[in-house]
Amino acid sequence: MKAQNCVLLSALTMACPFLRDVVDEEALVLRRAFRRERVFRDRLDPLAFPDDHLYERYRFSADGIRYLCRLLGPRIKHRTARSHALNVEQMVCVALRFFASGAFLYSVGDAEQLNKATICRTIRSVCLAIKALADVFISFPGHRRLCDMKGEFYRIAVDCTHIRIKAPSGAHEADFVNRKSFHSINVQMVCNADCVISNVVAKWPGSVHDSRIFRASEIYQCLSQGKPHNPYL
């Protein structure tokens, strides 16, 4: 009986264009009625927690996160709130959680109740904003007396370190294994005795020796020419 009704309805709609339009309109109404409504998750204010909670998850206090928001906000803020876009505080906290944990995007997304694509876009936006401000905070000192800086360095010890990373895929995976047998990036940083960074080179795999990184760096070329002020490292 159902099959006969379907055949009859099909024949009627072919014979009568008006009836076909009515059936199509009713079908559209039914699809709209049963269409799955889009549900947005309620995101908590990331700063509505005590500092110990924020330190544990983001490695920053509420004041530190607010400072980063003021600093990065003009570069990462969404133009509209369409599709419940993340605000600046949420974007900064997502990136800080990724930096602090070193976990996979899925893990950060589960913790922040966001999908992987949103996490990826957010981290990229924050990283590009930080990179754009690097020259503001990282610059070789020239305004302090060299004898004072040498005296401060004489009282402390300085060492280099390897930044541990997950094993990369590809043909050059072995290049990132350092002398301690774990995957890393060998990062060269220059700072003063107050640990204020003045130069960073973070592009060499862990197997590369410190001396090679230094000889290939821009700061080495600068110092070889007696600039600035004939300093010593």
Asked, for residue 39, whether it belongs to a domain, the answer is: no
Q: Taking 90 as the threshold, does the pLDDT of residue 31 lie above it?
A: no
Asked, for residue 88, whether it belongs to a domain, the answer is: yes
| 76 shares a domain with 60 | yes
Q: Taking 60 as the threshold, does the pLDDT of residue 2 lie above it?
A: no
Among 89, 115, 135, give the residue marking a domain's end.
135
Asked, for residue 43, whether it belongs to a domain, the answer is: no
The reply to whether omega before 141 is within 30° of 0 (cis) is no
Asked, for residue 92, whether it belongs to a domain, the answer is: yes
| 208 shares a domain with 155 | yes
Asked, for residue 73, whether it belongs to a domain, the answer is: yes
| 64 shares a domain with 117 | yes
Cβ atoms within 10 Å of 65's Cβ, excluding its own:
20
Mean pLDDT of the chain: 79
Q: Taking 80 as the threshold, does the pLDDT of residue 57 lie above it?
A: yes
| 143 shares a domain with 98 | no
Asked, for residue 181, whether it belongs to a domain, the answer is: yes
Among 102, 117, 135, give the residue marking a domain's end.
135
- Alpha helix ranges (H) inside 113-182: 116-132, 134-137, 146-154
pLDDT at 107: 86
**Furthest C-alpha separation in the chain:** 100
Asked, for residue 28, whether it belongs to a domain, the answer is: no
pLDDT at 17: 54
| 68 shares a domain with 56 | yes
Structure confidence by residue, pLDDT tens digits, 209-228: 988 998 898 888 888 887 76
Distances (CA, A) of 212 to 179, 182, 220: 15, 20, 11
Strand partners, 183: 177
pLDDT at 41: 45
Domain extent, residue 192, equals 138-224
Q: How far apart are the first and last CA of the chain?
A: 92
**Amino acid found at 182:** F
Collapsing DSSP to helix, strand or coil, 185 comes out as: strand
pLDDT at 152: 75
Collapsing DSSP to helix, strand or coil, 212 comes out as: helix
| 220 shares a domain with 149 | yes
| 126 shares a domain with 62 | yes
Structure confidence by residue, pLDDT tens digits, 147-180: 777 777 766 655 667 888 888 887 788 999 998 8
* Contacting residues for 88 by C-beta, under 8 A, at least 6 apart: 69, 72, 73, 76, 77
Among 106, 135, 164, give the residue marking a domain's end.
135
Collapsing DSSP to helix, strand or coil, 232 comes out as: coil
* Structural domains in the chain (count): 2
For residue 92, name the pLDDT band (cuts at 50, 70, 90): very high
| 164 shares a domain with 185 | yes
| 197 shares a domain with 171 | yes
pLDDT at 97: 92
| 191 shares a domain with 144 | yes
| 204 shares a domain with 182 | yes
Q: Which two tokens stand for residue 34?
A: 């049963």
Question: Higher pLDDT residue, 199 or 71?
Answer: 71
For residue 143, name the pLDDT band (cuts at 50, 70, 90): low
Asked, for residue 202, whether it belongs to a domain, the answer is: yes
- Over range 122-146, report the average pLDDT: 84
- Over range 196-217, report the average pLDDT: 88
Collapsing DSSP to helix, strand or coil, 230 comes out as: coil
| 129 shares a domain with 63 | yes
Cβ atoms within 10 Å of 196's Cβ, excluding its own:
11
